[in-house]
Amino acid sequence: MEGLLEKLKLEKARLLRELLAGVHNENDRSVVETHVLRLLETLEELELVAAAASPSEEDAETTTSSPNPSVLNAEFYTSYLLVLLLANNLNDARFLWKRIAVSVKQGSEPLRNAWEVGKALWQRQVIDLNLWSFAAAYVAMNQSWPHEVQPLVDLLKQLTRESTAELLSAAYSTISISDAANALGFAHQDELAHYCAALQWQVSLEERVIRPKPLAHALRHNTGLEQLESLSQYVLHLEQNTVVKLP
């Protein structure tokens, strides 16, 4: 059991390196998503094996401490939670948070911050899908993070921004600069303008609006039901809150 545990820990470290290297070397988001899913599978197995290798599983079920604190510690769960968010697996992220030992949660601010990100993304996708609900997710991601998880947070912010840009390009022909800044997580207008220009979107500072263009290709290759549901919700939001009224 210990040999398998060490093997999985090494595999986790290797896959994490590959994931972060792939972000810089791959333009195809599907490749990055493949790395995320492989890392997620390893984390799931590592949690199960570490719990099984605990000296006293019976005690672990009746205590608020982690069953194998040398492995299932705050750093492990912070990474695990962020990888679930990268995979857009919000349900499993919620269930993971519920089963993490109370003592581990209470003793780790980065872990609690990771869950704040998860809550904000859940709120955005399931409960309150509108442009203003994006801001909380970016605020949570802009917290100070330990160096070992900062790259995961940066990647999550990047993919969140890219998926949002896809939705905006499909649902909006005109959007205010302030709404676009909230949706894309930019605090400074020049950063927003630079990002939109890279997407070949027209930015009018005089009118204070942005005119998105349909993206030539999807930045993220996600055509599942959740993505379709998100798009339909954005179209509904557009109909209810259109920036430019038709005569």
pLDDT at 181: 94
Specify the CATH architecture of the domain 2-240.
Answer: Alpha Horseshoe (1.25)
pLDDT band at 136 (very low <50, low <70, confident <90, very high): confident
- Where along the chain do its domains lie? 2-240
Distance in angstroms (rounded) separating the CA atoms of residues 156 and 19: 12
Q: Look at residue 247 and tell me whether its pLDDT is greater than 50.
A: no
Give the Cβ contact number of residue 199 at 10 Å.
Answer: 17
Q: Where are the alpha helices (DSSP H) in the chain?
A: 2-25, 29-52, 57-60, 74-86, 90-99, 102-106, 109-122, 134-141, 150-171, 177-184, 189-198, 225-240
Q: Look at residue 43 and tell me whether its pLDDT is greater than 70.
A: yes
**Cβ-based neighbours of 75, under 8 Å, separated by 6 or more:** 108, 110, 146, 148, 149
Distance in angstroms (rounded) separating the CA atoms of residues 81 and 85: 6
